[in-house]
């Protein structure tokens, strides 16, 4: 099983600031890495796939990068609607494992 590790667990950011979230895989997953956004009481939504391809419903301030074992999700200028929990998931191999999540909260 591929273990996914996210850091930090909680990120406190002021609106308008940049947020950088990290995700590490215990072995290479190539570019088979997705990011999901989850808000309270809602199902997760696919934000990024292929490590860097943003879903069209999300604004351009969201970007993903990385390959192999190291990945980053960047939110360039946080808006109020971006405060949520973000999960990475590898889909290179079954089981499709998740990181433990990063909560982005208002500073």
Partner 1 sequence: EVQLLESGGGLAQPGGSLRLSCAASGFIFSNAAMSWVRQAPGKGLEWVSGIGGSGGGTYYADSVRGRFTVTRDDSKRTLTLQMNSLRAEDTAVYYCVKGRLPPDSWGQGTLVTVSS
Return residues touching partner 1 (CB under 8 A).
Answer: 1, 32, 34, 36, 38, 43-46, 49-50, 85, 87, 89, 91, 94-101
d(CA 1, CA 26): 9
User: Which lies closer to partner 1 via its Cβ, residue 9 or residue 60?
Assistant: 9
User: Which lies closer to partner 1 via its Cβ, residue 14 or residue 24?
Assistant: 24
Shortest distance, CB of residue 88 to partner 1, whole angstroms? 10
User: Which lies closer to partner 1 via its Cβ, residue 22 or residue 38?
Assistant: 38
Shortest distance, CB of residue 14 to partner 1, whole angstroms? 25
Which parts of 17-106 are beta strand (E)? 19-25, 33-38, 45-49, 53-54, 62-67, 70-75, 85-90, 102-106
Q: Across the chain, how many H-helices and E-strands are there?
A: 0, 10
């Amino acid at each position: 099983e591929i273990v996914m590790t996210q850091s930090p667990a909680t990120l406190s950011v002021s609106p308008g600031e940049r947020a950088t979230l990290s995700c590490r895989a215990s072995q290479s997953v190539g570019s088979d890495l997705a990011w999901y956004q989850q808000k309270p009481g809602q199902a997760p939504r696919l934000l990024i796939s292929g490590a860097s391809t943003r879903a069209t419903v999300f604004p351009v301030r969201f970007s993903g990068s990385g390959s192999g074992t190291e990945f980053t999700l960047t939110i360039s200028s946080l808006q109020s609607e971006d405060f949520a929990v973000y999960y990475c998931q590898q889909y290179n191999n079954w089981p499709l494992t998740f990181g433990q999540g990063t909560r982005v909260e208002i500073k």
